Amino acid sequence: MYIKQIYTNCLAQAAYYIESEGEALIIDPLREPEPYLEMAKKRHAKIKYIFETHFHADFVSGHLDIARLTDAVIVYGPNAKPNYTAHIAADKERIKIGKIELEVLHTPGHTIESSCLVLYDEEKKPRCVFTGDTLFIGDVGRPDLMSGNLNKEELAEMLFESLTKKIKTLLIV
C-alpha cells in the first residue's frame, strides 16, 4: 500500500493518491491532473477511482479531467446529484483497489452529500479515515453553507449526528 498526500498551502487543501497492487485512487484532487497522472505513470499504476468527499465550493476539482484521461470512475457518497456520470456510493459501501478497500461513510452536515472514507489495509483492518471537510484538526466543516433546502440549524444537527454516531465510533489502530 502506498499513500501520498498532495497538499496545497494557499488553499489549505489536501488531496490523496492511494495505491495497491498497481491500482490507484485519488481523493479530492486539485484542478491540475498532471501530478496524479505523473505519479501513476512513474509507479506503473492505473487510476481506477476518483473520490470526492463532497461538492467543493472553495476550489476547482480536477476529477472530470482525470476521469476523461484515465477512464477512472468518479465516486460520491449518498445524496450527491452531479450533472455528469458518477457512481453514487451507498453508506458503508466498500470499493476495492488491489488488496485494500475504501469504505464510504455518509457524514452529512457540512453538505448533505459529505462522506468520509475509511481505509482498510491488506489484512482488512481499518488504518485511517479521510474526512474531507467533515472534520479538521481542532475544527469541523461549516454547516452554514447552502445545501439544498436545508438551513444551517438542520445541517448543524446532521453534522453533530455524523460526528458522534459515525466518526467518534471509529477505532483506527
pLDDT in tens, 89-127: 999 999 999 999 999 999 987 777 889 999 999 999 999
CATH number, domain with residue 112: 3.60.15.10
- DSSP code of 6? E
Residue 116 lies in a domain: yes
* pLDDT over 60 at 24, yes or no: yes
Range of the domain at 163: 2-167
Tally of structural domains, the chain: 1
pLDDT of residue 148: 66
Sheet holding 94-97, edge to edge: 94-97, 100-106, 115-120, 126-130
Residue 72 lies in a domain: yes
Q: Among residues of the chain, what percentage have pLDDT more than 90?
A: 53
Q: Distance from CA of residue 83 to its chain's centroid?
A: 18
Dmax over CA atoms of the chain, in Å, equals 47
Residue 172 lies in a domain: no
Q: What is the pLDDT of residues 73-97, one digit of tens each?
A: 999 999 889 999 999 999 999 999 9
